[in-house]
Amino acid sequence: MNGRKWMMLCLLVFVFGVCPVDAQVLDTAEIQVIVKIPQILLVRVNTAELVFEEEDFDTTQNAVMTEEGILASKMGAVEIEVAGNVPHALYISAAEDFRGPNGTTLPSSQMQFRLNGSTVSSIDEDSWHTLMTRNA
DSSP of 10-50, one letter per residue? HHHIIIIIS--------S-------------EEEEES-S--
| Residue 20 or 6, more confident | 6
Degrees to nearest 5, angle at CA 93 with 71 and 116: 65
pLDDT at 132 over 80: no
Q: Is the pLDDT of residue 136 over 60?
A: no
What average pLDDT does the chain have? 76
pLDDT at position 74: 78
Query: Domain segments of the chain: what residues?
Result: 56-136
Residues 56/78, Cβ–Cβ less than 8 Å: no
% of the chain at pLDDT higher than 90: 2
Q: For residue 34, what pLDDT is reported? A: 93
Distance in angstroms (rounded) separating the CA atoms of residues 11 and 16: 9
- Higher per-residue confidence, 47 vs 21: 47
The pLDDT tens digits of the residues spanning 81-125 come to: 888 888 877 777 766 667 776 777 777 677 777 776 666 666 666
Q: What is the pLDDT of residue 79?
A: 81
Distance between CA atoms of residues 115 and 128, nearest Å: 8
CA 72, 45, 87, 91: dihedral to nearest 10 degrees? Answer: -40
